[in-house]
Amino acid sequence: MFDNSVYPFDARGVAKRFRHAAIFGALESLDDGETMRFVNDHDPLPLLGQIQQRYGSQVGIAYVAREPGNIVIDFTVQLGAQQEAGGGTAATGSCGGGNGCGCSGG
């Protein structure tokens, strides 16, 4: 059965110079509890660091597959985790107030 709250994002089809901006835009369009399933041909460690710095606990990161040439990561918006952690992460994000991330930076 297909879960409607999981949205695929294949980074391999996005030009390298636009990838991070496209990924951030996709994350910011998600609502609380929704997941973006990210697919890539390499492990995006710098991107993961940027996501953690930008969104903190508001975006959960879970590897689905982690093998050479096949990386699949679920990014899940979890606004409750941000509140449980004592807040603070929303103010440091620079997302512009998108629907899913909980920031009020608009």
Residue carrying structure tokens 């940027």: 50
Q: Is residue 1 part of a domain?
A: no
Q: Is residue 32 part of a domain?
A: yes
The predicted pLDDT at position 3 comes to 54
* Percent above pLDDT 90 for the chain: 69
Residue 93 · residue 59 · CB < 8 Å: no
Q: Is residue 98 part of a domain?
A: no
The predicted pLDDT at position 93 comes to 38
Task: Inform me whether the pLDDT recorded for 4 exceeds 80.
Answer: no
- Is 58 exposed, middle or buried, given 0-12, 13-18 or 19+ CB atoms closer than 10 A? buried
Q: Is residue 99 part of a domain?
A: no
pLDDT tens sequence across 8-23: 999 999 999 999 999 9
Q: Is residue 61 part of a domain?
A: yes
- The CA distance from 85 to 80, in Å, is 9
Q: Which amino acid is at 9?
A: F
Q: What is the residue range of 47's domain?
A: 6-92
CATH of the domain at 20: 3.30.110.40
Position 80 confidence tier, pLDDT thresholds 50, 70, 90: confident
The predicted pLDDT at position 92 comes to 34
Domain count, the chain: 1
Q: Is residue 103 part of a domain?
A: no
Tokens at residue 69, please? 């040439």
pLDDT tens sequence across 35-63: 999 999 999 999 999 999 999 999 999 99
